Structure 1
Amino acid sequence: MKKIKGKPANITKWITGKITTKNNIFDRNRIVVCEKLPLIRIGAKCFMVNETPDCKTAAVQINAPSPFQEGDIISINPNGDCTVVWEKNSCHNAFYVTDLCNSKCIMCPQTDGKQSRYDECLKILDCIDLKNDKNIGITGGEPTIEPEKLLKLLYKIARKSPNQKVHILTNGRNFEDINLVKNLSNIKHIDISYGIPLYSDIAEEHDFITGSKGSFQQTIRGLYNLAQYKQKIEIRIVILKQNYRKLKDIAEYIYRNLPFVTHIALMGMEYHGRAETNYEDINIDPYDYREELYEAVRQFVRYNITADVYNIPLCLADSRIEEFCRDSISSWKKAFLDKCSNCRKRELCSGIFETSFTQSKYIHPFL
């Protein structure tokens, strides 16, 4: 994630705006990068300068080149932390709407928090035009924790960019409320799909992984409610020690019970947040479940269900499923090890999570 620490001046609350080197007074969302404060400052949200500001204008002094590109959307907090929240040239942009969640998954890469971020996301939406964003995400936390705010955000996206593709990552539990599903399906001029996790074909095992008793049944009821309103559904299966031997069973369960699902994502873990805390209990190297992953993909192919493999480097997957492995890690947290610099398959590879505290010892380049 692109970010820089600066020395703030006259910043008392979070500022969200668009990075630019052009001090256009008609752009009321601009955060202007310049050597020193210009004489004309009307309408600017903030200035990012090299010299110490000496006036009452909101500014942040930085002592290094700005890492941001023209058109990036950034947030600046009162401590002077400047962080990109929407990259103009990224195909992995998403609204991170909340820290709040009604599950406590043992491998969740997020850190625990208690803050809703919907208001910030609405400000971000005011700053972007979405012309280059073919598919955007909504994630958390659990986006449906605050259903009215989710609906407000989606309606605003639909008005701003008709027929925009939006992929919502959610545990699906709150979709057991048929009225929420109905309200979401009533939004016109927007193409919504849902990415919903299923960690086992057995309720008790799924509930153990989510840290929430009854979550399996809630998710299944939610999936059927979404299907009733003909919504697009992706099932996400994060692979960990507790379920890697059951991937074929999960495939069988989906085929028998969830025939309306449009896509399957079989996913490697990001070792951050709770996944780092529970590492010893949940860790299984992708290299060690290559055969199980191959058999699961083959099963989905046999059932004529579209399936892809996310977040697993090509060198850790069985070569027989290489065509199913996707470059899936968001650009702001994707990286490669030094040993991968000359790998001939690097351009096709997902790489690794820069945010993970550890990496597989089996990663190697194809030379």
Structure 2
Amino acid sequence: MVRYISEYKSKYRIFIFSTKEIYTKELLNKQKNVGEFINNKIVFYPDGETVKLSPKEIKIMDEFCDGDVLEISETGIIYRWYSVIEGDAGIATTPKCNSNCIMCPASDGERSHNTGLSLEQLETVIKHMPEDLWYFTITGGEPTLIGEDNFIEIYRTVKEHLPNTNILLLTNGRTLGNYSFFEKFKKENMKNLRIAIPIHGSIASKHDYITQAKGGFEQTIRGLTNIINANIETEIRIVVSKLNEDDILDIAKLIVAKFKRVRVVHFVGLEMRGNCAANADKVVISYEEAFSKSKKAIQLLMINGIDVALYNFPYCMIERGYWSLAKKSISSYKAEYYVECDKCKMKSMCCGIFTATRNFYKPRVYPIKGDNE
């Protein structure tokens, strides 16, 4: 849902949302930008610019909480970078990517036409995040494509402003296979950092077909090797689709053979938007089938002492013995539940289904009501 203030025709801003004068003063004392919602208007500090709100826009403001980190564009469109309630926090350094995965939830247009924020704007977002965050994600596109020096500067800003926060870097790993860049990057503070990299196929031809990037497999393997050898916590992700459903076990065998020191492997269900929706006939696989095709791989990894988790898999679509692996991985603004889900005893812990997926096709749900169901 697009949120905007129709009367706003001013500069781009990043600010912390406030509904209390005393909280606004506290933030201003810390030299933060503030948007104070009070008396049916919003006042932007430190300059004091005031914008009156329509009844519809007042309802939009009611969706935000004190402490949420927001941006507003020159045309009044609002985006939330951090939600106090959801706890999700992170930045996308750039929409650009050096791969073009067939099942990517982003589209070609999103990657090529969206320029993203400037380095200064990204640093402002970071500096407005609460310093006691538990988790912060750096992603893209491919986050390193903002430029080697700019990426390192962004990473350094995150570590300086959030010194005790766990940092997750989501990357395809290809640039980390570049020796000179990796040597420069690993000189930074690696404490509390985890790097997550996907492997889409067990061999180059399968991986590179899915990423549509010739040579990507070898670069990714070099990147994984570099970060593991540098003792940086590593996560591998396997996005399960029709394209690799019969290769999942071989991907697990590759991980056991080459990357046994990996911290965790996440099996990921599809989000039906962008390239994934455009290539639905090639990629779509049900959650149940994706889980079934992954079972032997999950067992192999666990037998070899590698932790496993399931992302984007509703409880009712995986076997009961694997429920402990399922994570509530879908952000609340992207997740939906069926009316039938209200009857399910696992709803509060379940990830639900992507709104985009449900809009594309409607997976059947099976509400879990008792110990034997």
Query: In 1, Cα distance between the equivalents of 2:238 and 2:162?
Result: 31
**Shift of the alpha carbon at 1:65?**
4.6
**Shift of the alpha carbon at 1:45?**
6.7
Instruction: Provide closer, same or farther for how the CA distance between residues 42 and 134 of structure 1 changes in structure 2, counting only shifts above 3 A.
Output: closer
Residue of structure 2 aligned with 1:99, choices 95, 98, 101: 95
Contact 1:34 1:50 in 2 (8 A): no
**Shift of the alpha carbon at 1:15?**
1.3
Contact 1:29 1:44 in 2 (8 A): no
**Shift of the alpha carbon at 1:19?**
0.7
Give the structure 1 partner of residue 52 of structure 2: 49
Give the structure 2 partner of residue 9 of structure 1: 8
Tell me the amino acid that sits aligned with residue 136 of structure 2. I
Give the structure 2 partner of residue 134 of structure 1: 134
Give the structure 2 partner of residue 362 of structure 1: 364
Tell me the amino acid that sits aligned with residue 93 of structure 2. V
Contact 2:144 2:151 in 1 (8 A): yes
Contact 2:3 2:60 in 1 (8 A): no
Query: In 2, Cα distance between the equivalents of 1:91 and 1:249?
Result: 36
Instruction: Provide closer, same or farther for how the CA distance between residues 333 and 45 of structure 1 changes in structure 2, counting only shifts above 3 A.
Output: farther
Unaligned 5+ segments in structure 1 are: 53-60
Identical counterparts, % of pairs:
24
Tell me the amino acid that sits aligned with residue 125 of structure 2. I
Give the structure 1 partner of residue 77 of structure 2: 81
Q: Which runs of 4+ in 1 moved over 4 A?
A: 44-48
Instruction: Provide closer, same or farther for how the CA distance between residues 295 and 8 of structure 1 changes in structure 2, counting only shifts above 3 A.
Output: same
Question: For residues 244-278 of structure 1, what are the alpha-carbon distances to aligned partners after superposition, in whole Å with 9 as ceiling and x for unaligned?
Answer: 12211111111011222111000101111111111
Unaligned 5+ segments in structure 2 are: none
Contact 1:33 1:48 in 2 (8 A): no
**Shift of the alpha carbon at 1:36?**
5.1
* 1:210 matched to 2:214: no
Give the structure 2 partner of residue 319 of structure 1: 320
Query: In 2, Cα distance between the equivalents of 1:254 and 1:341?
Result: 39
Q: Secondary structure at the match of 2:241?
A: coil
**Shift of the alpha carbon at 1:50?**
2.6
Q: Secondary structure at the match of 2:236?
A: strand
* 1:64 matched to 2:59: yes
**Shift of the alpha carbon at 1:51?**
6.2
Give the structure 1 partner of residue 260 of structure 2: 259
Contact 1:294 1:321 in 2 (8 A): no
Instruction: Provide closer, same or farther for how the CA distance between residues 63 and 299 of structure 1 changes in structure 2, counting only shifts above 3 A.
Output: same
Q: Secondary structure at the match of 1:130?
A: coil
**Residues 1-367 of structure 1 mapped to structure 2, 5 A cutoff:** 4-11=3-10, 13-23=11-21, 24=24, 27=28, 28-35=32-39, 43-44=46-47, 47=50, 49-50=52-53, 62=57, 64-66=59-61, 67-111=63-107, 112-114=110-112, 115-117=115-117, 118-131=119-132, 133-145=133-145, 146-188=147-189, 190-356=191-357, 357-367=359-369
Contact 1:34 1:48 in 2 (8 A): no
Instruction: Provide closer, same or farther for how the CA distance between residues 301 and 41 of structure 1 changes in structure 2, counting only shifts above 3 A.
Output: closer
Contact 1:20 1:71 in 2 (8 A): yes
**Shift of the alpha carbon at 1:192?**
1.2
Contact 1:103 1:212 in 2 (8 A): yes
**Shift of the alpha carbon at 1:42?**
5.9
Query: In 2, Cα distance between the equivalents of 1:125 and 1:48?
Result: 25
Contact 1:271 1:355 in 2 (8 A): yes
Contact 2:34 2:45 in 1 (8 A): no
Greater helix fraction, Structure 1 or Structure 2:
2
Contact 1:6 1:63 in 2 (8 A): no
Instruction: Provide closer, same or farther for how the CA distance between residues 184 and 42 of structure 1 changes in structure 2, counting only shifts above 3 A.
Output: closer
Instruction: Provide closer, same or farther for how the CA distance between residues 44 and 316 of structure 1 changes in structure 2, counting only shifts above 3 A.
Output: farther
Query: In 2, Cα distance between the equivalents of 1:46 and 1:225?
Result: 50
Query: In 2, Cα distance between the equivalents of 1:147 and 1:198?
Result: 23
Query: In 2, Cα distance between the equivalents of 1:365 and 1:201?
Result: 35
Contact 1:31 1:46 in 2 (8 A): no
Moved more, 42-51 or 149-158: 42-51
Tell me the amino acid that sits aligned with residue 15 of structure 1. R
Query: In 2, Cα distance between the equivalents of 1:286 and 1:267?
Result: 10
Question: For residues 292-325 of structure 1, what are the alpha-carbon distances to aligned partners after superposition, in whole Å with 9 as ceiling and x for unaligned?
Answer: 2222211111111111111010111122322211
Moved more, 288-297 or 96-105: 288-297
Query: In 1, Cα distance between the equivalents of 2:66 and 2:179?
Result: 43
Q: Secondary structure at the match of 2:285?
A: coil
Contact 1:35 1:50 in 2 (8 A): no
Query: In 2, Cα distance between the equivalents of 1:221 and 1:92?
Result: 30
Question: For residues 60-98 of structure 1, what are the alpha-carbon distances to aligned partners after superposition, in whole Å with 9 as ceiling and x for unaligned?
Answer: x93535121111111111222122111123233221211
Query: In 1, Cα distance between the equivalents of 2:41 and 2:239?
Result: 49
Query: In 1, Cα distance between the equivalents of 2:356 and 2:121?
Result: 23
Query: In 2, Cα distance between the equivalents of 1:41 and 1:342?
Result: 44
**Shift of the alpha carbon at 1:44?**
4.3
Contact 1:32 1:44 in 2 (8 A): no
Contact 2:248 2:297 in 1 (8 A): yes
Instruction: Provide closer, same or farther for how the CA distance between residues 207 and 242 of structure 1 changes in structure 2, counting only shifts above 3 A.
Output: same
Query: In 2, Cα distance between the equivalents of 1:36 and 1:155?
Result: 39
**Shift of the alpha carbon at 1:200?**
1.0
Instruction: Provide closer, same or farther for how the CA distance between residues 101 and 169 of structure 1 changes in structure 2, counting only shifts above 3 A.
Output: same
What TM-score do the two structures reach when normalised by structure 1?
0.90
What TM-score do the two structures reach when normalised by structure 2?
0.88
